[in-house]
Every structure is written in C-alpha cells, then in structure tokens.
Structure 1
Amino acid sequence: MRINVSGAAADAVARVVPQLVNDLVASRITAQDPTLWGPEAEEEASKRLGWVEAAVVSQPLVREILALRDELSRKGVDHILLGGMGGSSLAPEVITRTFGVELTVLDSTEPGQVLSALNDRLESSALVISSKSGSTVETDSQKRAFEQAYRDAGIDPLERIIVVTDPGSPLDSAARADGYRVFNADPNVGGRYSALTAFGLVPSGLAGVDIQELLHEAEAIALELAQDSPDNPGLILGAAMAGTEPLKDKLGIVADGTHIVGFADWAEQLIAESTGKNGKGILPVVLEPDSPELSIGVPDLQIVRLVGTWDDTRDVADGELEVTGSLGAQLMVWEYATAVAGVLLGVNPFDQPDVEAAKIAARGLLDARPEPTAPAFTEQGIEVRGTIDVVSGATTLKDALNALLAEVGTDGYVSVQAYLDRIANPGLLELRDLIAEKTGRPVTFGWGPRFLHSTGQYHKGGPATGVFLQLLGSPQRDLEIPGRPFTFGQLITAQAAGDASVLAEHGRPVLALTLTDPRSALDALRGVLR
C-alpha cells in the first residue's frame, strides 16, 4: 500500500499527522476506543468498531462459504444474485468485479431491473439476501419476488435463497424459522464498514472469489494501520481527506490504472454516509480520467487517483494524491482514513441520523397513496416538477434546468439521481459530464434508490450546498410484490417522492423530470445542456 501526496494535501499531512500520532489515534482505533469521537458519539462507536478486526474474525466463515459453494455447484447452480442495498451490495460488487467473477447485483426496486434479474437463468441461480437490520423494504421485496418465482418454477426457495443478516434481527428470526440457510454477520460492524464481514464475503465467495486471498491482503496491512507512526497510510489518507486548510470538502476519486474495478462507488458510500452530518462532511465524487472537473480546476475539490504499479520516478500532479495497493489493503485503509476524518471534522462516523427521514416519507406515501402531483408542464415527453424556486415561472425544460443550475453556488455541487433501470440506461451517465461542463462544479450521479442508503445521508445532513436533479421513469411494466399492498413501481415512485419532499424540507432545490421514454428524453436533455 503506497500513498503519495502533494500540494495542499501534503501540507495537511505534514501538519496534522504528527498530532494524530501524538494523540495515539491509530492505536486507539485498533483498540476500539469509542471515546475518540466525543461523548455524544461514544454509545454508537462502542458497538461499531468491529471492522478493525474483521479480517481475522471472518476467517472461520471461509470454509463454510466454500462448502456451500461446492454444494450449490453440485446442484447445478452457476449463477449467483445478490439482493441488498448500500454497503451490502457495493462491497460485493467491487470485490467480484476486481476478481473477475460474475455476480448479478439487484440493488433496485425499478420493475424492469427486478424483472430482468428474475428472468435471467432462474433455474440455475441462487440468491443471497443481505440486510443488516433485517427490515430493509427493498431487500424484503426482492426476497418475496424471488420466493414466488422459484415456487412458480417448481424450485424450493429454501434450497436457493441464502440470508445474511445480523444475529437477532427480524430477518434472522423469520429466516431461521422458515428453514433458510443463514449467515450471521458481526453486529458490531456498521453496514458501510462491512466489506470484510459476511456481507462482503458470502456473495463474493459463492460467486467464485478467492475470499481467503482477500482476507490475507487485509491482514497484511493491519499491523501498519495499528501503529502510531507518521508512515501509517490510514493517518496519511485521513489527514489528506479532512485536514486541508481551507478544507477541500469535495473528494474526486479517479480510477487511473488500478486493477481494482468500481472502488470509487464503494468509497463514495463509505465517506458520504460517515462524514455528512451536522452541516459538515466530505463529498466523494466518482470521476473518470477524462471527467471535466479534472481540467476545469475546482478549488475545493481534492483529487485522489487510484493507480496501478507504483512508479517512484513519476511526479504526482500538483495538489493530487496517488494511491496504490491490493483490494483488501485498500478496503482497510479507506475505512481507517474515514474514521480519522471523523475525528478531524468532529463528527460521529458511525451513525446516519438523516437516512430514516426519506424512508418515513416513502412509507407515508405508500400508506396514503395520494394522487400524483400534476406537472408544472410537459415538454418532449418529459414531465417537469420541482420546488417552487426552480419551476416557478419556467415554461420550458431549458428554463427549469437553468433555474436549478443557477442555484449552484461557488462552493456547491449538483446531485443527479436516476430512479431508473441502471442496467438498461447506462447512457444517462453522460449527463453528469455535461452538467459539470456547464456549471464548472462537481457533479455526483446516484442510482435510486440505492444511494438513499449511502450518499443520501450527506444530501440532508452535510453542508447545504447541493442542488438535486431527479430522473424518474414511467415503467411500461410493473411487478406485484407478493404479500404487499403495493407494487415495485409504486414503491420506487414513493421512494423518489419521499426523498424529494425531505430535500425540499431541508431547503434544497429539486427538479424532478419524469422521462416517459428515457432514450428520447436523453437526447432532449443533451440538447438543452449543450
């Protein structure tokens, strides 16, 4: 594991790391000292630091997971799916993609995406259902849909569904009573820190990842992270993330030669949900090597490049960081660094006080079932809605988009939130770059509803500098959720509307565009933004 720093990041490391060493921050994290983040955080921190020893504690799981993989293989199962949200899905996704193994990740309630998963090799598939709390509505709905599909295909769901949850959760009790195979994760680890627990290992191992190697990679860095040393990579990265003066509170993460696939998406949820609260936080921004933000020059954006083989002769671009290392080491280092960032920012990195608000709002809409709000206007098949400050006086799509983007301040950002089938609509990601070029500000892109379990915390609890563009669908097909009085289409609609209402209550500008035909709508949006 190597980290090279320059510019403001190097200044932060030189100034902050000696104090972190003097305060024994690294060894106190390793010793699971809950007092590091202040009295208000102590209760939560006392039951959320198990991740520091996950690489060792998880070792006994390896044999059990591999035995189940062999058992499933003998039964003709060669396709693993995962139903989960937030860290429960993003960690297995980066692990399997990096190791080059197939895993179908179902982290959506969009009917088309759920139907695609149901119709893909069901006869030779097994589904891992992952939920820490055991009450996640998305994961419960996915489980119900697959149970019904397996029964309809003449397959016993008990032989094809594997459950990962905390011991004693509602899902744990119900799944064991029904006869499902259950893996319990360490309850002293929060969801976003759970990559090296059962949540990351079970789906990855069943899919074919060498999870023993992954744990060895993590173990190899553990001693270095525990030491109160100026060379500790967790202290260096944490200081560079949260110690610059003035604070660069946007963190652009670029995969630039690394063998790790999709790491920035995992780091995004870890950092945003851990730090975005009390009006503070670090906003992670997932970038490509050619993203506009890298050439525009955004003063409050700290760039981190994930590189491949270390080259001591290469100069680091001024003000940037370069990081290289194995996947297991990176997972551990970024978890330590995020905990260190919490110390520097003065926030509790283990709670998520603003996540529940959007869930409550969505449940209220599902219970009440109000009539859909009429759009302010419709143009080119796009229904336009939004907060008053955005749509009042707007008569065209261009007016509404300009009104939203005019709200972006010199320290602001744009959040694009697509409540659409992410497998069928990859082209929507183009909008991120177009908006970054137009505004000259960082732009994040999240697929709904999965981002609600991660970056959604930052949107409500972090600095009030974001403006929000929701992209919604008008699904041609819907899907019943067995045993529930609502469909997948109604659920994702309620989730989007619920989050928009909470953002509006927090004074955030919101523009919601319902795309009756996403492909033609994308052309229209491209034209307006250009």
Structure 2
Amino acid sequence: MIKFKDYFAKSSNKYNVSKEAINALFKAICEERNKNISGYYNLPYDKEAILDSRKYIKTNNAFLSSISNLIIIGIGGSSLGLKAIDSMLSHLQYRRDLNLKFLEHTDPIKIEKSLKKIKLKNSLFIVISKSGKTIETLSLMKYVLKHYELLKNHNNKKHLIFITDKDSPLESFGNLNNITTFCINPNIGGRFSVLSTIGILPLSILGYRVENILSGAKKLSNSFFNRKEDHILKKAIFFGNNRDKFHINILFSYSSVFKDFNAWYVQLWGESLGKLNSFGRKTALTPIALIGSIDQHSFLQLIVQGVMDKTVTFLSLHQKSYENPKIPKINMKFLDSCDFVNGVSFASLLQKQQLSTMEAIQKEGVPTDHIEIKELNEESVGSLIMYYELLTSCAGKVLDINAYNQPGVEFGKKILITKFKR
C-alpha cells in the first residue's frame, strides 16, 4: 500500500487548482489512452510478457538452473527501469542468487571490469534495444559476441537473448542467426517500457513474482481512471502552471534502495518533459534525485536558503515495517550528545530525519509532497512505477508537449555519425 500526501495546495492559496482544469486534464489523458498514443497504458493489462517469460523459463529450465550471471546489455530505458525494480526488491528471500550485471557504458575501463570474471558457461546475455540500432548497445553486443564466440554454434547461442521492437534490424539479425528474440510494441517508449518484456522477462528469471508487479500497476491505473487519484492531476497542473517559478523538481528518497529508482525517475522526467511546445517555446521541468539522509549534508542548504525555484517530493518507507536493526544503548564519554537516539531503530531515526527535513523545507515555503510505502514488495513497486508514468503523461499534457519522443537526443546521434564519416 502507498500513501500519497499532497501538500502543494497548502503552500499558498494562489497555487490552488480549479475543478475545471482537473476535469479537462483528465479528459485529455483519457483521449490519449484511447487513441493509443503510447502503449504503456496497456501494459498492466497485457499478459503477453508474462506468458512469453513463463514459456521461455519452462522450456529452458535446466539451462537457467545452471547460470549464475545475468548480464543486461542496454542503455537508458532498456536498463534503468529493470535496475530500479531489482534494487527495490532484492531483499526478498525468493530472489534467485544470480549476479545481475549491466553493460550500459562504452567506457573501456568499465567494460573490462564488468566482464572480468564472467564465463560463458554460467552466463546469460540479454541484449535490449527497442530500435534495434542503438549505437552503444550494438557496440557492446559486438564486443560480447566476439569475446564469448556467442554465434559459434547452437550451444553458445542459447546464452543470448534479444528484446527489441517488432520488425527492427535487431529482430531481423536475431531471426537470421536463430537467436531467441522477443518483440514489444514499437509505440512503447523505452523509458516507459519496464512493465513490458524488457523488464518482465529478466525479473522473471530472477525469481520475482512479476504478476504482482503488473497487478500493482493495474491497481493504480484503475484507481486513477476511476477518479480516485486526482492528486496526480492536481500535481501535474501545479507543475505546469508554475513552470517558470518552480522549474526544478527534486525527488528526495529516504532509503538507499531507491538509488536506482531515482536514476529511472531522472531519465523519465528529463527526457519526457524537456521539449519545445506547440509554439516552439523551450520548456522543461528539471529533475534532481537525492538520497536521504546522505544528501541532507550536501544539498539541503541549497533547498532551504537557495533560490525558490524548486519543489520537493519525499519518498519513504513506513518505518514500523522495519524495526531492526536498532542503535545500541551505549553511553560513551564525550559523545553523550547523541545518546537521545539510543535504543531506537535505524528506520525510526531515518523517518524522523525525513520528517524534520520536510518540516524545515515547508517552513521556508517550498512546495512539497510525500509518498510513503508501507511495505516494499512487487505490488507497491508496480504502483510506484505506474504513478510516475501517469504523472509524467499528465505533466506533458499541461506543458503542451509530446512526452513520448526525444528529438534532442536524435540531434546528438546524427552529429555522432558525421564525426565518424569525416
């Protein structure tokens, strides 16, 4: 279960959102979903990813039981969502003891370090590229193909899987070489794709109950479209109406398990909401991701007494669900100023640090809200993913932009090609 505590409207009466604006935005999002502008809306209801994953695991059960390394070759939306979910759920006891690695960087030092102890016989490589022509991914794939001779024979090929768009160049290459290949709907953008086969297959191999992830996403989606989550609409309108004043949006996550989720949020928010609107005006909501309590010592000062151009969303775990470990009741000479926390759980300390930080920020008039997860499991993670995807779509509508393309990224790709053609 997730609690959404909205404080934006309490910041000042001038930031209140009208009922007419809320209804208009909801209508626009419903029209977008009905027109299938982006296929991510359908993913919580689609069984294809689960059925394909189950079939693959059943057919290859003996082989999968023999592997100890799962290596994901992909970048951005092809890796960040999967990494985020695994980081949030890796504490679950039934998570398989697999070494999950990500080849997502063309840094030569990182490549050699990541593959240093990886042997073919106990490894499965999953290449993920929606377009089937991502330069970083295909370059890393070429290196792995040669290094491990993955195309040498049928036995080597079983250590390789492709996930890509239907009719992409990578699908064609996979079919030509008899590589196990899974395809997803091309109108599901990479940063919105974690609930597709891109996330569901690797997570299934890792042993997670992926049907519960989709169930959590479905529950949040149903609740939203039944008008029980209007706080999402209000928040998006607040962001849009105050884009010039509060153009920096901070996700302050109070647990280290959210570190990779923060990275997923930064890509989702930044790549979706930094665009030209229909009038050619550059517009953006800039994401910043922090981890509490660590970043209280590096960024809090800027929030509290810096320029008032930021909003803050706090993300935390319900501390009563995590009663251990506790701080020992030890009294030490000269260090007694810290004895007031003796005997309390670290979770309780973290929660009170979060509440104190939030109160200090609110006193300065910084708009905030709070997402609290009672228990971190597959269902709550699925709901959290869907919440941010819906919020991003709503914010895109208010900003009058296409939240699903990335023309600025394509500019850089074209320049890169010209540099190699000189």
Report the 3-state secondary structure (helix = DSSP H, G, I; strand = E; otherwise coil) of the residue aligned with 1:262.
helix
Correspondence 1:105 to 2:102: yes
Cα deviation digits, residues 171-204 of structure 1 (max 9, x gap): 1112112111111112221111111111221222
Correspondence 1:320 to 2:368: yes
1:225 Cα deviation after fit: 1.3
Cα distance in 2 between the residues matched to 1:268 and 1:245: 17
The one-letter code of the counterpart of 1:80 is L
1:280 Cα deviation after fit: 0.7
For 1:383-394, list aligned pairs within 5 A.
none
1:31 Cα deviation after fit: 4.8
Report the 3-state secondary structure (helix = DSSP H, G, I; strand = E; otherwise coil) of the residue aligned with 1:151.
coil
Cα distance in 1 between the residues matched to 2:10 and 2:212: 32
Report the 3-state secondary structure (helix = DSSP H, G, I; strand = E; otherwise coil) of the residue aligned with 1:248.
coil
Change (3 A) 1:153 1:197: closer
1:341 Cα deviation after fit: 0.8
Cα distance in 1 between the residues matched to 2:240 and 2:55: 43
The one-letter code of the counterpart of 2:51 is R
Report the 3-state secondary structure (helix = DSSP H, G, I; strand = E; otherwise coil) of the residue aligned with 2:394.
helix
Change (3 A) 1:288 1:28: same
The one-letter code of the counterpart of 1:339 is S
Q: Which of 347, 363, 370 does residue 401 from structure 2 map onto?
A: 347
1:8 Cα deviation after fit: 6.4
TM-score normalised by the chain length of structure 1: 0.61
Aligned residue number for residue 128 of structure 2: 130
For 1:237-248, list aligned pairs within 5 A.
237-244=235-242, 247-248=245-246
Cα distance in 1 between the residues matched to 2:52 and 2:224: 29
Q: RMSD value over aligned CA atoms?
A: 2.8
Aligned residue number for residue 357 of structure 1: 411
1:250 Cα deviation after fit: 0.7
**Unmatched 5+ stretches in structure 2:** 277-281, 321-350, 374-379
Correspondence 1:274 to 2:272: yes
For 1:106-121, list aligned pairs within 5 A.
106-121=103-118
Report the 3-state secondary structure (helix = DSSP H, G, I; strand = E; otherwise coil) of the residue aligned with 1:219.
helix
Correspondence 1:304 to 2:292: no
Cα distance in 1 between the residues matched to 2:141 and 2:256: 35
Identity value in percent: 21
1:331 Cα deviation after fit: 0.8
Aligned residue number for residue 384 of structure 1: none
Query: Does the CA-based 8 Å contact 2:256-2:291 persist in structure 1?
Result: no
Aligned residue number for residue 213 of structure 2: 214
Cα deviation digits, residues 189-226 of structure 1 (max 9, x gap): 11111111112212222233221121111111121111
Cα deviation digits, residues 39-69 of structure 1 (max 9, x gap): xxxxxxx564211121111x23223313433
Cα distance in 2 between the residues matched to 1:185 and 1:233: 31
Query: Does the CA-based 8 Å contact 1:132-1:164 persist in structure 2?
Result: yes
Query: Does the CA-based 8 Å contact 1:218-1:331 persist in structure 2?
Result: yes
Deviates more, 1:168-177 or 1:108-117: 108-117
Correspondence 1:227 to 2:226: yes
Change (3 A) 1:361 1:12: farther
Aligned residue number for residue 389 of structure 1: none
TM-score normalised by the chain length of structure 2: 0.76
For 1:76-225, list aligned pairs within 5 A.
76-100=66-90, 102-122=99-119, 123-151=121-149, 156-225=155-224
Query: Does the CA-based 8 Å contact 1:80-1:127 persist in structure 2?
Result: yes
Cα distance in 1 between the residues matched to 2:381 and 2:210: 11
Report the 3-state secondary structure (helix = DSSP H, G, I; strand = E; otherwise coil) of the residue aligned with 2:158.
helix
Report the 3-state secondary structure (helix = DSSP H, G, I; strand = E; otherwise coil) of the residue aligned with 2:251.
strand
Cα distance in 1 between the residues matched to 2:181 and 2:14: 44
The one-letter code of the counterpart of 1:352 is Q
Cα distance in 2 between the residues matched to 1:151 and 1:267: 36
Q: Which of 288, 291, 298 does residue 288 from structure 1 map onto?
A: 291
The one-letter code of the counterpart of 1:275 is L
1:152 Cα deviation after fit: 7.8
Report the 3-state secondary structure (helix = DSSP H, G, I; strand = E; otherwise coil) of the residue aligned with 1:163.
strand
Cα distance in 2 between the residues matched to 1:9 and 1:263: 28
Cα distance in 2 between the residues matched to 1:119 and 1:259: 26
Cα distance in 2 between the residues matched to 1:147 and 1:245: 47
Cα distance in 2 between the residues matched to 1:293 and 1:358: 31
Cα distance in 2 between the residues matched to 1:2 and 1:120: 43
1:131 Cα deviation after fit: 0.7
Cα distance in 1 between the residues matched to 2:194 and 2:150: 34
Cα deviation digits, residues 312-365 of structure 1 (max 9, x gap): 996853132111342111111111111111122121111111111211222222
Aligned residue number for residue 29 of structure 1: 29
Report the 3-state secondary structure (helix = DSSP H, G, I; strand = E; otherwise coil) of the residue aligned with 2:162.
strand
Q: Which of 38, 50, 64 does residue 62 from structure 1 map onto?
A: 50
Cα distance in 1 between the residues matched to 2:406 and 2:386: 21
Higher relative contact order (CA 8 A, sep 6+): 2
Change (3 A) 1:148 1:68: same
Report the 3-state secondary structure (helix = DSSP H, G, I; strand = E; otherwise coil) of the residue aligned with 1:103.
strand
Change (3 A) 1:48 1:119: farther
Q: Which of 40, 50, 68 does residue 51 from structure 1 map onto?
A: 40
Change (3 A) 1:245 1:176: closer
Query: Does the CA-based 8 Å contact 1:17-1:235 persist in structure 2?
Result: no
**Unmatched 5+ stretches in structure 1:** 35-45, 369-530
Correspondence 1:6 to 2:1: no
Change (3 A) 1:119 1:294: same
Cα distance in 1 between the residues matched to 2:300 and 2:238: 18
How many positions carry a matched residue from both structures? 354
Report the 3-state secondary structure (helix = DSSP H, G, I; strand = E; otherwise coil) of the residue aligned with 2:166.
coil
Change (3 A) 1:213 1:360: same
Deviates more, 1:66-75 or 1:250-259: 66-75
1:276 Cα deviation after fit: 0.4
Report the 3-state secondary structure (helix = DSSP H, G, I; strand = E; otherwise coil) of the residue aligned with 1:354.
helix
Report the 3-state secondary structure (helix = DSSP H, G, I; strand = E; otherwise coil) of the residue aligned with 1:80.
strand
